[in-house]
Amino acid sequence: MRQRGVLYLVWGERAKHEVHRSIESLKPFGLDHCVRELDSTSTHLAKAGMYEFSPFQETLFLDSDTVLIEDPAFGFEMAARHGVALSIEPDYWAQRQWTQIAPKRVTKDIPEYNTGVIFFIKHPKTRKLFERWHEIAWDYGTKHDQWSFAQAVYDTSSNPFILQPNWNFRDSMIYGPLKIWHVRGIPPPRNTEDWNRGPMCLGRVEDGEIFPVAWPGAREST
């Protein structure tokens, strides 16, 4: 088994093409990688098999539309400690699934995690989580793999380490350095390096740049 690397699961021409941008972004960090090409009829639910697909002891799973901006060492470190490390989905209540037609409803109040960036290690506890995810992947609707993942976390009493949203930035609000850009078809902001080295402040992206914005409520308290 290879020690540490990035896993991609790709299906369809778009993903096969866009994954090159992501692979290119790994080079400054000297990361090994593995691309598994799945049947073109695959869906997001195939991500539930990532544990088995990975040839690495320590894996960073990335969606094909991601760009690695900064050293991911801390993410690997947290996965080594806690089994899994990832970020919460910007649309963070999994019960938004309740409006979908699906065999089952997710449990009330469970958080929704974004499964586009997942650090994990091979370990019996993480295997249990991923096996549960695989087992129930179809039960919570076919639109999103994240609902079944959130349910699997709850069902197995797992506790993934939660990274800041910057580790899986979906182009909403940002505070501090951008670690992994996760936006399809749009390049990372031109001033990302300057932003990451500058003082920490709240920002958002517009016209290809990150710029500071005012704290809401005149920063009543943070």
Partner 1 sequence: MAGRSGVNLRERGVLYIVSRSAKPDAQRSIESLQRAGLDYCVKEVDEASNISAKASMLELSPFRETVFLDSDAIVLDDLDFGFEMAARHGLALSIAPTCWARRQWTADPDARYRVAPELVEYDLGVVFFTRTPETSRLFESWRAVAGEYGTTCERWSFSQVVYDAAYNPFVLSEGWNFRAKPITCGPIKIWHSRQPPPQNIDDWNRGPVGLGVIENGSVTRAPWYPSTFRAAYPRA
Element (H, E) at 88: strand 84-93
Residue 200 interacting with partner 1 (CB under 8 A):
yes
Q: Is 140 exposed, middle or buried (0-12, 13-18, 19+ CB in 10 A)?
A: buried
Closest to partner 1 by CB, 41 or 157: 157
Contact 118, 60 (CB under 8 A): yes
Interface residues for partner 1 in 138-157 (CB under 8 A)? 157
CA distance linking residue 144 with residue 123, whole number of Å: 26
- Options 1-9, 13-21, 124-132, 194-202: segment touching partner 1 (CB under 8 A): 194-202
Question: Which of 134, 50, 123 shows the shortest CA–CA distance to 82?
Answer: 123
Q: Which residue in 18, 131, 139, 171 binds partner 1 (CB under 8 A)?
A: 171
- Report in angstroms how near the CB of residue 144 gets to partner 1 at its nearest: 13
- Report in angstroms how near the CB of residue 83 gets to partner 1 at its nearest: 9
Q: Which residue in 34, 104, 110, 128 binds partner 1 (CB under 8 A)?
A: 110
- Report in angstroms how near the CB of residue 116 gets to partner 1 at its nearest: 16
Residue 220 interacting with partner 1 (CB under 8 A):
yes
Contact 189, 205 (CB under 8 A): yes
CA distance linking residue 107 with residue 95, whole number of Å: 7
Strand 32-37 and strand 2-10: the pairing is parallel
Residue 126 interacting with partner 1 (CB under 8 A):
no
Unique residue bearing structure tokens 């390049």: 187
Return residues touching partner 1 (CB under 8 A).
74, 81-82, 88, 90-93, 95-96, 98-99, 108-112, 157, 159, 161-166, 171-173, 175-177, 199-202, 204, 206, 211-214, 216-217, 220-222
